[in-house]
Amino acid sequence: MSLSKFFEPKSIAVIGASHEPEKIGYVILENLKVSFEGKIYPINPSFPEIQGLKAYPSVLDIEEAVELAIIVVPAKIVKDVVDECVKKKIKNIIVISSGFGETGDNKIEDEIKEIIKGKARLIGPNCIGIYKSGLDMMFLPRKRLKRPSDGVISFISQSGTLGIASLDLVAHKGLGISKFVSYGNALDVNETDLIEYLSKDLETRCIAAYIESIKDGKRFMEIAKKTSKIKPIVILKAGRTEKGMEASKSHTGALAGSSQIYSAVFKQAGIIEARTTGELFIFAKALANQPALRSNRIGIITNGGGFGILAADSIVENGLMVAEFDKETEKILKKGLPNYCSVGNPVDIAGDADVDRFEKGLKAIFEDKNVDGVLCSILFQTPKIEDLIIPVLEGCKAYGKPLVVCSPGGEYSLERIRKLERLGIPVYSAPERAVKALRALREYGEIIGKK
Amino acid sequence: MSLSKFFEPKSIAVIGASHEPEKIGYVILENLKVSFEGKIYPINPSFPEIQGLKAYPSVLDIEEAVELAIIVVPAKIVKDVVDECVKKKIKNIIVISSGFGETGDNKIEDEIKEIIKGKARLIGPNCIGIYKSGLDMMFLPRKRLKRPSDGVISFISQSGTLGIASLDLVAHKGLGISKFVSYGNALDVNETDLIEYLSKDLETRCIAAYIESIKDGKRFMEIAKKTSKIKPIVILKAGRTEKGMEASKSHTGALAGSSQIYSAVFKQAGIIEARTTGELFIFAKALANQPALRSNRIGIITNGGGFGILAADSIVENGLMVAEFDKETEKILKKGLPNYCSVGNPVDIAGDADVDRFEKGLKAIFEDKNVDGVLCSILFQTPKIEDLIIPVLEGCKAYGKPLVVCSPGGEYSLERIRKLERLGIPVYSAPERAVKALRALREYGEIIGKK
C-alpha cells in the first residue's frame, strides 16, 4: 500500500479532538485548521461541535470517505479506535498517543498489527506525525515552535522531540523542509518504508534521518542502496554506545545494535553517517542543494583572514586538499585585487572588501581547473558588504561546482543568511562546519562515482 | 608598564578621526561617543571640529594629558604619529591601521618598536583594538554587529575579523563579555602580556584566545602556567597544518609552529585547547561560570528522549561516564514522577513534563553522591515548560556541582536561553556540544587538581 495519502490526504479525522486548549487534541485540530485545505472531522463522543467544526462520536458516524485518521486518545482505547478506523476503511492511520512498546509491553502493539494487517498502514504510536506545508498536525504551539518554509530536504525522526526541536532550529536559520515525519515506535511504517517513499518523491532532494534502530536490516540495505544512487541519505544513529542503547530501549522500545555494525552497513548502503545532531543538517543542506565534489581540491575566499587559516587547517584535517591554483588564476587575482590582498589559496580579500572584490575573486577561483569546490567566508559585519553579494553568490551556480558559505554572526547576518539558504546556498556559522559540508559532498561524490 | 590604562583611560585621542561616515575614523569616534564617558580628542589637521567635538591638528596641540591614543591614519604616516604620541607622553597607543608586517615588510614595525621602547605600550597594528562596556572603539557599525552585554569571559584575538564575528555570534546568543582585545600583529603587546593582565583582572573569570603564533614561548609558558591555576585559559590555535601556517604568514605576519608542539605546550601550561571556533566558546562559557568537574560521572535529565540517548552516547565517546545512580535516587524519582517516565540515567521525564517534574528530577540527581555534574536537556517547544524553569535552574548553583543545559530551538527558545546565559548557566544547541563543555570542565578539574 502506498504511503502517499499520509502526505496528500483529502480528508482527515482527528480522533480525540478537544476544545480544551491545553490538550494535544486541541492543538492538532487548531494547526490543521490553519494549514490543511481538505475536510476535517473532529471525533469526540461528548460534543456535537469542536472549534467551530461539526464533531462526530466515532469515525463510523461519518458518511463520506476519510483518507487519514489521526489518533490522540489514551493508549488503552487506541486499539478499539484503530479497529473502528479499519471498519470505516480508512487506509492511513497515525497514532500520536504514547504508552506502548516504549513501556516494555508489546502486547497492544501486536494486537493492533493484527487489526491493520492488509487493511491499513499505520505511523506511530508515540510520535508527532507529519509536517509539511499544507499539513501541520504538530501538537506544539506555533508561538513556541517556528514552522520551516518549503524546502528540498525531507527529515524522518524516530524521536519526536528531537525531530521538532531540530525543525525549530533549522527553521530559525532559514532552512526549508519538504516533509517531516516523526514515526516513533514504528509499529508498522518504519524507516525503510519512509525512505522508499521519499526516494520517489520529486520534491525531496535529500533524506535526513534520526534513527534509534532498524527493523528489517536486509530490506533497509536494499532500499538504501537503491535510493542513495538517486539522492543522498544522511543518518544520525543514536544508541551507538552501550549506555545510549540502554536509554533507547525505554524511549521508543528500540533494540539498537552495535555502532561498528551500523557504520559498516551505512557505508555499504551509500549512506552518509552523521555523528552529531549538528552534522545531520550540516550535511543535509549541502547535499540537498549543491552538486557532489568530483575531487577534493578546495578554493577558499574570505574577507576575514583568520577564517581562511582555520578553513585551510580544517580542510587538511578532514582529508580534503587546499587547491594549488593555476598560475593564471593568481595573475588574474593580482590584477583585479588591491595589492594588500592575498592571492594565494586561501584568497584573503581583506576586511574592507566590497561585493565587487568577492565577485572577481569567486570568478577566478571557480574558473580554475584545479579547483573542485569553493568555501566562501563572508563577514556581513564589515561595512562594505552590500546585499548585492546575495545574487553574486546565487550566480555561482552557473559554474557547476559546489559552493559552501561560512558566515558567523547575529541578527543582521542571520537575515542575509536566511535569504541565502532559501536560494539553496548552504551557510555555516563556523569554517569547520563549512568544511564538514564539503567532506559530505566529497563522500557523496564517491558514492555516486561507484555506480 | 601596566596595561590598565588601555582598559580604563580617562581621555582618548582618535588620530585620523573623520566626518565622513564611510571612514573607519568616523565609526570609531561615533562609537566612542556613545560608549565612553571620559574626554575624547579627535585629531585631524584639516578640520576644527569633528562630529561636534573640538578637533586638533596633532596630539601635541592638546593642552591636557592624554591617556590613550587610537591611530587610524594610513600606514605610511603611522610612525610619525606614534612619535608625536610619545612626545606627548601618551603611554598607551592602539594602532588600528594595517599595511605592516602582514605585507612581508617588517621595517616600519621595527622603527616603531624603537620609538616606543620604555616610553609607551602599543597594541596592534592591523587590529580592531578593545571592546568593553564603556569603551567601544570597534569600527563595525552597531546595526551590523551586536555588542555583547557585560560578562565574565575575556577574549583576545590575533585576528580582528574572527574576533568581531565571534563577538557578534555570542552576543546574539546572550553571552556576555568582560573585555575583548584584537591585537593583530603584536608589534609590542602580545598574547602573553594580555593573558598576564587578564590573570589579575577581577572581572575576568575565564580567558579565551584565538592565536596564530606565540612570540616568546618561554615567557608564555611561565605566565600561562601561573594563570591557569587561578582561572581557566582556552586557546584556539590557527595554523595547525602546513597550509594553515602559510595562510597565517600573510595574515598577521605570524610564523606559526607545528601543531603537535603547540598542543604539548598547551597541555603542560594547563591550557585547554579548542580545535574549532565552536569549541572556543563552548568551553569558555562553561569554564567561566561553572565549577570544575571533580570526577567524570554525569547525570542526565531530559524532556526529549532522543536527546538523552545522544547525550549518553556522547558522554561515553568523550571519555566521561554515564553515572550509575544510587538505589535511593531511583526510588525518589519513581515516587516523584509519573510511571511512564524513565528513572534510570538518562532520566527521561517525557515530552509532557512541567517545571515541577524538572525540579524534582534535578534535585534527586544533583543530590546523588555518585553524580559529579549534570546535563539537563530542555525543549522549550513543549507546551508545559513555563519560564519558572529559569529560577529552578539558577537554584541548582546551590548544589555546588556543574550544570550544563542543552536546548535547541528558534526565537522562542533563544529568548529563554539568553536569560539563562545571563545567569551564568551555559546553554548549548546540541547534546554533543553540552558534553564537550563537560569534558572541558573535567579537563580543568584535572588541571587544578594537580597544583
What pLDDT digit, counting tens, does each position of B364-408 carry? 999 999 999 999 999 999 989 999 999 999 999 999 999 999 999
Task: Name the burial class of residue A364, with classes exposed (0-12), middle (13-18) and buried (19+) by CB atoms within 10 angstroms of its CB.
Answer: buried
| C-alpha–C-alpha distance, residues B262 and B191, integer Å | 14
Q: How far is A92 from chain B (nearest CA, A)?
A: 25
B296 touches chain A (CB under 8 A): no
* Mean pLDDT (whole number) for B419-443: 98
B322 touches chain A (CB under 8 A): yes
Mutate to test the interface with B, among A18, A126, A139, A310 (most CBs of B within 10 A): A310
Reading phi first (left if > 0) and then psi (alpha if -120 to 50, else beta), residue A248 is in alpha
Question: Which of B143, B412, B413 lies nearest to residue A412, judging by beta carbons?
Answer: B143
b/e for A418-444, b at 16 or more Cβ within 10 A? bbbbeebbbbbbbbbbbbbbbbbbbbb
B18 touches chain A (CB under 8 A): no
CA-based nearest residue to A433, from A309, A315, A345: A315
The interaxial angle of helices B277-289 and A431-449, nearest 10 deg, is 140
Answer whether A145 sits within 8 Å of B409, measured CB to CB. Answer: yes
Specify whether the CB–CB gap between B358 and B349 falls below 8 A.
yes
Q: Provide, as residue numbers in chain A, all residues whose Cβ is less than 8 Å from the Cβ of B275.
A: 432
A169 touches chain B (CB under 8 A): yes
| C-alpha–C-alpha distance, residues A52 and A33, integer Å | 10
| C-alpha–C-alpha distance, residues B317 and B296, integer Å | 13
B365 touches chain A (CB under 8 A): no
A27 touches chain B (CB under 8 A): yes
Residue of B nearest to A237 (CA): B310
Q: Would you state the pLDDT for residue A253?
A: 63
Specify whether the CB–CB gap between B121 and B6 falls below 8 A.
yes
Q: Would you state the pLDDT for residue B257?
A: 63
Answer whether A158 sits within 8 Å of B306, measured CB to CB. Answer: yes
Please list the helix, strand and coil fractions of chain A in percent, rounded to the nearest 5, in that order. 45, 15, 40
CA-based nearest residue to A173, from B261, B411, B42: B411
* Mean pLDDT (whole number) for B235-253: 83
Answer whether B165 sits within 8 Å of A278, measured CB to CB. Answer: no
| C-alpha–C-alpha distance, residues B159 and A96, integer Å | 51
User: Judged by CB atoms within 8 Å, which residues 345-364 of B form the interface with A?
Assistant: 346, 348, 350-351
For residue B341, name the pLDDT band (cuts at 50, 70, 90).
Answer: very high
Q: Provide the 8-state DSSP code for A187.
A: S
Answer whether B251 sits within 8 Å of A146, measured CB to CB. Answer: no
Answer whether B410 sits within 8 Å of A169, measured CB to CB. Answer: yes
Residue of A nearest to B169 (CA): A409
Q: How far is B119 from chain A (nearest CA, A)?
A: 31
B104 touches chain A (CB under 8 A): no
Question: Which of A103, A165, A171 lies nearest to residue B379, judging by beta carbons?
Answer: A165
Residue A207 C-alpha cell reads as 533524506
* Mean pLDDT (whole number) for B306-329: 97
| C-alpha–C-alpha distance, residues B140 and B161, integer Å | 10
Q: Would you state the pLDDT for residue A450?
A: 67
For residue B81, name the pLDDT band (cuts at 50, 70, 90).
Answer: very high
Answer whether B168 sits within 8 Å of A410, measured CB to CB. Answer: yes
Q: Would you state the pLDDT for residue B37?
A: 97
Q: Provide, as residue numbers in chain A, all residues whose Cβ is less than 8 Å from the Cβ of B144.
A: 380-383, 412-413
Please determine, for the modelled complex, whether the ipTM score is greater than 0.90.
yes
A158 touches chain B (CB under 8 A): yes
- Per-residue pLDDT for B170 more than 60? yes
B115 touches chain A (CB under 8 A): no
Q: How far is B445 from chain A (nearest CA, A)?
A: 24
Count CB-CB contacts under 10 A for residue A110.
11
- Per-residue pLDDT for B3 more than 60? yes
Residues in contact with A270: Cβ distance below 8 Å, sequence separation at least 6, in sequence order = A224, A225, A228, A229, A233, A447, A450
B45 touches chain A (CB under 8 A): no
Cis peptide before A48 (omega within 30 of 0): no
Answer whether A409 sits within 8 Å of B169, measured CB to CB. Answer: yes
Tell me the whole-structure pTM to 2 decimals.
0.95
Taking CA atoms, A272 is separated from A8, A441, A443, A444, B224, in Å, by: 29, 10, 7, 7, 41
Pairing of strands A129-132, A135-136: antiparallel
- Per-residue pLDDT for B104 more than 80? no
Mutate to test the interface with B, among A313, A314, A427 (most CBs of B within 10 A): A313
B411 touches chain A (CB under 8 A): yes
A125 touches chain B (CB under 8 A): no
- Per-residue pLDDT for B255 more than 60? no
Q: What is the mean pLDDT of chain B?
A: 95
Going residue by residue through chain A (451 aa), what tens digit of pLDDT does each one get?
Answer: 899 999 999 999 999 999 999 899 999 999 999 999 999 999 999 999 999 999 999 999 999 999 999 999 999 999 999 999 999 999 999 999 998 877 777 899 999 999 999 999 999 999 999 999 999 999 999 999 999 999 999 999 999 999 999 999 999 999 999 999 999 999 999 999 999 999 999 999 999 999 998 988 899 999 999 999 999 999 999 998 888 888 887 766 655 567 788 899 999 999 999 999 999 999 999 999 999 999 999 999 999 999 999 999 999 999 999 999 999 999 999 999 999 899 999 999 999 999 999 999 999 999 999 999 999 999 999 989 999 999 999 999 999 999 999 999 999 999 999 999 999 999 999 999 999 999 999 999 999 986 4
Q: Would you state the pLDDT for residue B76?
A: 93
Taking CA atoms, A251 is separated from A244, A280, B124, B350, in Å, by: 11, 20, 55, 9
Q: How far is A244 from chain B (nearest CA, A)?
A: 5
Bridge partners of residue B280, in order along the sequence: none
Task: Name the burial class of residue A405, with classes exposed (0-12), middle (13-18) and buried (19+) by CB atoms within 10 angstroms of its CB.
Answer: buried
CA-based nearest residue to A437, from A291, A236, A242: A291
Residue A232 C-alpha cell reads as 543522498
Specify whether the CB–CB gap between B349 and B302 falls below 8 A.
yes
Q: Provide, as residue numbers in chain B, all residues whose Cβ is less than 8 Å from the Cβ of A163.
A: 306
For residue B254, name the pLDDT band (cuts at 50, 70, 90).
Answer: low
| C-alpha–C-alpha distance, residues A297 and B194, integer Å | 38
| C-alpha–C-alpha distance, residues B14 and B30, integer Å | 11
Specify whether the CB–CB gap between B424 and B392 falls below 8 A.
no
Answer whether B310 sits within 8 Å of A168, measured CB to CB. Answer: no
Residue of A nearest to B250 (CA): A342
Residues in contact with B183: Cβ distance below 8 Å, sequence separation at least 6, in sequence order = B123, B124, B127, B156, B157, B158, B189, B190, B191, B194
Task: Name the burial class of residue A398, with classes exposed (0-12), middle (13-18) and buried (19+) by CB atoms within 10 angstroms of its CB.
Answer: exposed
